[in-house]
Amino acid sequence: MAEDDATGGTRPAQARLLRAGAAHRHETKEMVLSNAFKVESRGAVRVITMDRPPVNAIDVPLLEDMQRTLEKLEADDEVGAIVLTGAGKCFSAGLDLKKFSESSPEQMRELLLALNRSFLALFSFPRPVVAAVNGHAIAGGMMVAMCCDYRVAPREKCKLGLTEVRVGVNFPIAGLEIARTVLDTPTVQYLAQVGRNIDSDEALRRGVVTELQDTGAVFERAVAVAEDLATIPRMAYAATKQQICGDAIARIQPWVDADDDPAMSVWMDPTTTQYAKHILDGTRAT
């Protein structure tokens, strides 16, 4: 059952899942374009490609583009499922460390809030979302993949990890709750507290990815999975997703509504950015 807010209404992200079987406003079938995302149609499947060379590093404009793109796709009743992938050889290497290292406390606050909003929008998207993890998915990049319902990754030369702690920050509330939903506790502890990348085989064993394919087959396999999931009755899929993800969404939503995060003090500390600077220049922070 969805948790109601203080006014008696259902939390926004939960409400999206609960009403997913109802009629949606019809949008045209034109390709949806944004600065950081390309969207292409494959029948009922929409392929969203993060396209911020060279490694699809995450910044506030990319996160805002992601949220806007998802809103447009959710409003289109002809969209049955989504495949999310990255341009080039990398899914996403995580935060743009150069921008991160140069950020003021207020810019760090803006980034943290944008991460929560976009992660929640992706995690609570009421139709199937399949990640075609075409290459490395690190820190925030891995979190984007974990927001998806099904994750296909390559067997070869792919690193995945939650390395935030080594950049000097802890988890945004959305990232923490999503990780707790998708992964078991020992895996969350290992990935988050050790902060080292793992390879594809270990990622499969730990449930970080759903299946492995040869590198050249990842994308088409993800599309095939999305095509299959798109045939599931929409209301049933959304209701099942609500049963699985609803508790996490209920814990994330109040922080998003309040423009706040329990990690805020760490992210806004003036010393936080020094760790990113040391990573960029190849030295160790003290």
Q: What is the pLDDT of residues 195-209, one digit of tens each?
A: 999 999 999 999 999
Residue 19: band (very low, low, confident or very high) from pLDDT cuts 50, 70, 90: low
Residue 25: band (very low, low, confident or very high) from pLDDT cuts 50, 70, 90: very low
Structural domains of the chain in order of their starting residue, each with its CATH number: 12-281 (3.90.226.10)
**Are 153 and 200 contacting, i.e. CB atoms less than 8 angstroms apart?**
yes
Q: Which amino acid is at 146?
A: M
Which pair of structure tokens corresponds to residue 130? 């399949």
**Are 86 and 49 contacting, i.e. CB atoms less than 8 angstroms apart?**
yes
Q: What angle do CA 46, 64, 281 make, to 5 degrees?
A: 110
Q: Note the pLDDT of residue 244.
A: 97
Q: Note the pLDDT of residue 273.
A: 85
Q: What is the pLDDT of residues 250-267, one digit of tens each?
A: 999 999 999 999 999 999
Q: Note the pLDDT of residue 6.
A: 42
Which residues are CB-neighbours of 201 under 8 A, at least 6 positions away?
A: 155, 212
Q: Note the pLDDT of residue 284.
A: 55
Average pLDDT of span 94-110: 94
Average pLDDT of span 20-36: 49
Q: Which amino acid is at 135?
A: G
Helix (H, G, I), strand (E, B) or coil at 45: strand
Whole-number mean pLDDT of the chain?
Answer: 90
Asked whether residue 73 carries a pLDDT value surpassing 90, the answer given is: yes
